[in-house]
């Protein structure tokens, strides 16, 4: 059921949303197993001016995005998150981040995907796993 979408097409789909634009996302790789996204670091991500590491909510968001969009070759779209678990491994200091998402199990109604965040030196900063609703989307009445 693979969609023949290119990294450029998926990048255009993801960056339609203003929040995703603000995150500075760029799809750098895409295949049937998953996706790689680069996030451009922003000053606003800092927890505090004197503690410049990236807020955990930003990291959780990036994990959710990458795991979600790893399913795009199967679904042709982003999918709703049902459950998300996040583990933080190291502080994400200022600098761009690389996020890799991959499908764990693709089901007809529910799917599981996971993601990892790395700094540009390849250090693992956070990881997560989520369940998504991948069933048919009801068309709005009207």
1 domain residue, yes or no: no
Residue 103 lies in a domain: yes
Say which DSSP state 98 is in: E
**Is residue 139 assigned to a domain?**
no
- Which residues constitute the domain of residue 121? 7-133
Least confident range of 48-57, 93-102, 125-134: 48-57
Segment 97-119, tens digit of pLDDT: 999 999 999 999 999 999 999 99
In the chain, the number of structural domains is 1
Is 55 inside a domain boundary?
yes
CATH number of the domain within which 82 lies? 3.10.129.10
Q: Is position 121 within any domain?
A: yes
Who contacts 128 (Cβ-Cβ below 8 Å, separation ≥6)?
60, 63, 64, 67, 84, 85, 86, 87, 114, 115
pLDDT of amino acid 24: 95
Q: Is residue 2 part of a domain?
A: no
């Amino acid at each position: 059921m693979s969609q023949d979408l290119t990294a450029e097409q998926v990048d255009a789909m993801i960056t339609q949303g203003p929040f995703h634009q603000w995150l500075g996302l760029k799809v750098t790789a895409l295949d049937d197993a998953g996706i790689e996204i680069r996030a451009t670091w922003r000053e606003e991500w800092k927890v505090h001016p004197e503690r410049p590491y990236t807020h955990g909510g930003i990291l959780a968001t990036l994990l959710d995005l990458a795991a979600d969009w790893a399913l795009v070759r199967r679904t042709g779209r982003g999918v709703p998150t049902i459950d998300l678990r996040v583990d933080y491994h190291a502080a994400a200091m200022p600098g761009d981040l690389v996020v890799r998402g991959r499908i764990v199990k693709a089901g007809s109604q529910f799917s599981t995907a996971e993601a990892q965040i790395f700094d540009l030196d390849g250090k693992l900063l956070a990881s997560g796993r989520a369940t998504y609703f991948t069933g048919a989307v009801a068309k709005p009445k009207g």
